[in-house]
């Protein structure tokens, strides 16, 4: 007998698009929730086409959709029709969680705000994702993670070398951690409902999660800290800078705390000149002369072969890190040893899928299923709502589904 999944029986409506909000639903689905994705007929979620864009890595699989849209059913429903809204309201009446990232003006126009839906289902958890938050002058503005998470939070300005132009974020880089925050909010509200019987309005934003990611330095700013030491040119990029090797890879120094670590690194690099240089004889001296120290190290790293250097560094007990490239990941034993990948069956994919980072030992997860085609489960879901086959065909002819 198959083990019962923790969230089996939980009914979730995914009335959202792209990544952050729908992935919160994916995390619920992985634990057994029945997730119904509501999509516009003929068009669907634009994220379905992300991996097909000419500027994305080319593959015979729709890898982004496979990653984030698994374990759910798809209902095509035109919410700009009266009957489409009536069908959605029937599902809202019976759902446990309603997830949305529709722009706030559209929610007000369609009557899909929390204030409207709580009248239909007071026990529902209404989970809202916005770009900039539920309040304030920018609450109605739309924004992806590149602008709201990465640029507006200060991260884009902070993560660069002095004088370099800001770099764009990776696709989904802010969306995926934001999805975990929304999931945590939903699960917290569900626990509260278990204890009180009350539903809840939960929300987060891309900006809030970007600020949280930048919070060590953002808090310094709010504390009116003096950033001169942090930004001073003499700081260079020591001790956390990257050093290029002869084969074009990069090595990062990490947690070299003791003088013995410094001595072992210099011996490993065959750098007696740096070891005896009076400018670098102590940790304090190296920080005071950081730019010069980095410049002195670079030619020694430039003579190293990365694989050989990393082997010798491990043997010496030094905590240095090879900057990974994506091509390294499929052969990284840590990923499979720690279940960071989910294996799939041939009918789903020929490849493993990156798993979410939530881990509760002994808690069963649903096997990865193939993402649904647009409207694949429309007839099934409407049948569960009591619609006869003839009624469903009429709804289809009228453009409602």
Residue 5 pLDDT level (bands cut at 50, 70, 90): very high
Write the CA distances from 153 to 161, 207, 390, integer angstroms: 18, 6, 52
Query: What confidence category does residue 237 fall into, taking pLDDT thresholds of 50, 70 and 90?
Result: low
DSSP 355: P
Looking at the structure, do residues 20 and 71 belong to the same domain, yes or no? yes
209 and 249 belong to one structural domain: no
CB 159 within 8 A of CB 240: no
Which pLDDT does position 257 carry in this prediction?
Answer: 66
pTM of structure: 0.90
Cα–Cα distance for residue pair 37/282, rounded to 1 Å: 60
Structural domain includes residue 310: yes
- Is 352 among the domain residues? no
203 and 89, same structural domain? yes
Mean pLDDT (the chain, rounded): 91
Domain boundary among 300, 328, 356: 328
- Mean pLDDT of the 186-194 span: 97
Residue 389 Ramachandran class (φ > 0 left, ψ -120 to 50 alpha, else beta): alpha
What is d(CA 191, CA 212) in angstroms, rounded to the nearest whole number?
24
Name residue, tokens 């720690």: 338
What DSSP element (H or E) covers 63?
Answer: helix 63-68
How many separate domains does the chain show? Answer: 2
Same structural domain, 78 and 155:
yes
CATH number at residue 315: 3.30.1540.10
Q: Answer whether residue 342 is part of any domain.
A: no
Per-residue pLDDT of 177-189, as tens digits, reads 999 999 999 999 9
Do 288 and 385 reside in the same domain of the chain?
no
Same domain, 246 and 322: yes
Of 319, 185, 192, 190, which Cα lies nearest the Cα of 251?
319
Residue 177 DSSP label: H
CA nearest neighbour of 116 among 85, 146, 142, 73: 85
DSSP reduced 3-state for 29? helix
Residue span of the structural domain in which 38 resides: 11-215+371-397
Residues 167 and 293 in one domain: no
**What radius of gyration, in Å, describes the C-alpha atoms of the chain?**
26
pLDDT at 255: 66
Highest mean pLDDT among 52-56, 175-179, 239-243, 337-341: 175-179
Residue 200 and residue 85 share a domain? yes
State the CATH number of the domain containing residue 143. 3.40.50.10540
- Report d(CA 109, CA 99) in Å as an integer: 17
Please, is 288 exposed, middle or buried when counting C-beta atoms within 10 Å of its C-beta (0-12, 13-18, 19+)? middle
Pair (80, 164) in one structural domain: yes
Kindly state the percentage of the chain with pLDDT values over 90: 68
Confidence category of residue 293, pLDDT binned at 50, 70, 90: confident
Closest to 299 (Cα-Cα) out of 352, 245, 247 = 245
Residues 211 and 254 in one domain: no
Same domain, 204 and 264: no
Whether residue 38 is found in the same domain as residue 165: yes
Residue 169: per-residue pLDDT: 86
Domain boundary among 302, 328, 354: 328
């Amino acid at each position: 007998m198959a083990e019962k999944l923790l969230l089996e029986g939980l009914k979730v409506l995914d009335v959202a698009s792209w990544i952050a909000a729908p992935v919160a639903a994916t995390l619920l689905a992985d634990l057994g929730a029945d997730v119904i994705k509501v999509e516009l007929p003929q068009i669907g979620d634009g994220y379905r086409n992300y991996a097909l864009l000419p500027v994305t890595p080319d593959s015979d699989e729709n890898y982004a959709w496979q990653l984030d849209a698994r374990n759910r059913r798809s209902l095509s429903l035109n919410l700009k029709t009266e009957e489409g809204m009536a069908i959605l309201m029937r599902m809202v009446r019976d759902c446990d969680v309603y997830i949305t990232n529709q722009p706030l003006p559209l929610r007000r126009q369609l009557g899909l705000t929390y204030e409207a839906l709580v009248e239909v289902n007071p026990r529902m958890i209404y989970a809202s994702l916005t770009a900039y938050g539920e309040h304030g002058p920018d609450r109605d503005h739309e924004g992806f993670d590149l602008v709201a998470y990465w640029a507006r939070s200060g991260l884009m300005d902070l993560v660069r070398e002095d004088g370099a132009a800001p770099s764009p974020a990776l696709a989904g880089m802010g969306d995926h951690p934001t999805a975990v925050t929304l999931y945590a909010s939903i699960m917290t509200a569900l626990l509260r409902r278990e204890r009180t019987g009350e539903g809840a309005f939960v929300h987060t934003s891309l900006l809030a999660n970007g600020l949280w990611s930048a919070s060590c330095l953002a808090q310094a700013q709010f504390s009116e800290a003096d950033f001169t030491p942090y930004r001073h040119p003499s700081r260079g990029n020591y001790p956390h800078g990257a050093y290029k090797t002869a084969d074009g890879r990069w090595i990062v120094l990490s947690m070299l705390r003791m003088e013995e670590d410094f001595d072992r690194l210099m011996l490993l690099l065959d750098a007696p000149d740096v070891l005896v240089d009076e400018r670098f004889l102590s940790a304090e001296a190296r920080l005071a002369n950081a730019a010069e120290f980095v410049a002195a190290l670079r030619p020694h790293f430039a003579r190293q072969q990365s694989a050989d250097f990393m082997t010798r560094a491990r043997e010496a007990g030094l905590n240095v890190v090879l900057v990974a490239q994506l091509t390294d990941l499929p052969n990284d034993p840590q990923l499979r040893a720690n279940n960071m990948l989910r294996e799939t069956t041939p009918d789903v994919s020929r490849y493993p899928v990156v798993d979410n980072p939530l881990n509760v030992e002994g808690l069963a997860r649903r096997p990865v299923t193939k993402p649904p085609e647009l409207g694949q489960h429309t007839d099934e879901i409407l049948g569960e709502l009591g619609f006869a086959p003839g009624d469903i065909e009429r709804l289809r002819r009228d453009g409602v589904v």
